[in-house]
Amino acid sequence: MYTSSNTDNMKKVSILIPMYNEQEVLPALFNRLSDLMDGNPSYMWEVVMVNDGSTDATAAKALQMHKRDSRFHFVDLSRNYGKEIAMMAGFDFVSGDCAVIMDADLQHPPEVIPSMIAQWENGYDDVYGRRITRGKEPWLRKRLSLLYYTLLQKTTKIPILENVGDFRLLDRSCIEALKKIRETHRYTKGLFCYIGFKKTDVPFEQADREAGQTKWNFLKLLGLAIEGITSYTTVPLRLATVAGFAVSICALMYLIYIFVKTLIVGENVAGFPTLMVTILFLGGLTLLTLGIMGEYIGRIFNETKQRPVYFVREVDGNRYCQKEKDESQKSDS
Ligand code: UDP
Ligand code: MG
């Protein structure tokens, strides 16, 4: 399955789906994708479902899907690594001339895929879905997410597109580029922009989640947000320097003021509140700066370990030996 030597001239389209506890939605997903593939026989199709350590019956159901229809493949990760890494595992396993990434919950309608393929045939390498509606989403989350993108946009040199999620078609050349980026702290949305290539968009209406629940809570989203900032920009470090500098200048001016004042009018011991406020303010600022530096140092620490980013347990229901893959990757390069 995972060789890129597609013998006949027919192009092969892979659909890559990371899934975590998605048992409720799998039957609908199976039907919608089968309809799509049957309706477009001019392409060879492959669906690669990456099970990201689900704790429900997702694995068993995905395996059933593979048994029912051999176009559906199933990669079982050894534990939950998070969507970003599940996507990366998927890149290693898809064999198509292009791959479409979509969510399992059908918020990304498979019916849009043919128009993405049409743009790919027009010569684009990276065809991303642009949401014209965001589906059902809490008001605060929507606001915060928009604010975040504006901030990220302003602080990074790489333009990160608004209202664009992970629903996109990538040409083989983009997939190979992404496979070369093997950092543990991943913010794939930024990576898509980072790799460049010829991009265009296809609008789509984001549906509501078909079944089951969202896997993101506020903390997870906050984590992803911090990931996004720290992996693309060192502006927070710069801000810390600027703040440090500004405070020092103020302190120096205050010092001169006190010095002069003491010379002219003398000094009686007072000013305890001012002292407290200054100490607390500076203490807070120091801790904040240390925290920011810590975020970056933590990332250096994790990346220097150079651990494999993920482990695979099974592929299509068979035990998977990591060695095979490593060796085939070596012989590829
Ligand atoms: N997902 C994953 N691993 C995780 C969390 C989520 O593979 O740890 C998958 C999930 O199964 C779905 C996609 O990522 O296919 C998007 O997740 P979800 O729909 O919960 O996010 P939302 O649409 O609410 O942002
Ligand atoms: Mg969703």
CATH of the domain at 195: 3.90.550.10
- Return all residues near 16 (Cβ < 8 A) that are at least 6 apart: 48, 50, 87, 90, 91, 94, 99, 100, 101, 102
pLDDT attached to residue 134: 65
Compute, in angstroms, the gap from residue 105 CA to the centroid of ligand 2.
5
Does any ligand 1 atom lie closer than 6 A to the CB of residue 210?
no
pLDDT of residue 325: 58
**For residue 166, is it within any domain?**
yes
For 61, the domain range is 12-233+308-332
Q: Following DSSP, what letter does each residue of 149-213 receive, concatenated? A: HHHHHHH-SSPPPTTEEEEEEEEHHHHHHHHH---SS--HHHHHHHH---EEEEEEEPPPP-SS-
3 within 8 A of 39, measured Cβ to Cβ: no
Closest residue to atom 21 of ligand 1, CA basis: 214
Q: Ligand 1: which of 100, 107, 215, 216 to mutate, judged by most atoms within 8 Å of the beta carbon?
A: 215
Residues 175 and 98 in one domain: yes
Domain assignment present for 44: yes
> What pLDDT shows up at residue 188?
80
Report how far ligand 1's centroid is from the alpha carbon of 20 (Å).
Answer: 6
203 and 300 inside one domain: no
Same domain, 124 and 259: no
Question: What is the predicted pLDDT for the residue at 231?
Answer: 76
Distance separating alpha carbons of residues 210 and 314, to the nearest angstrom: 27
Closest ligand 1 atom number to CA of residue 214: 20
CA 212 from centroid of its chain's CA atoms = 21
Q: What is the pLDDT of residues 34-66, one digit of tens each?
A: 999 998 888 999 999 999 989 988 999 999 999
Distance from C-alpha of 210 to C-alpha of 315, rounded to nearest angstrom: 26
- In which residue ranges of the chain is pLDDT below 70? 1-8, 134-136, 157-160, 267, 322-333
The CA distances from residue 212 to 64, 76, 190, in Å, are 19, 20, 28
Give the model's pLDDT for residue 1: 47
Run of H or E including 34: helix 26-39
Ligand nearest to the CA of 20: 1
**pLDDT confidence of residue 333:** 47
Identify the pLDDT of residue 236. Answer: 83
Quick check: CB of 64 below 6 Å from ligand 1?
A: no
Q: Are residues 301 and 185 in the same domain?
A: no
Is the pTM above the cut of 0.85? no
Place of tokens 């890494």: 85
How many angstroms is it from 169 CA to the middle of ligand 2?
18
Q: 76 C-alpha vs ligand 2 centroid, how far in Å?
A: 20
Q: Give the C-alpha separation, 215 to 273, whole Å.
A: 47
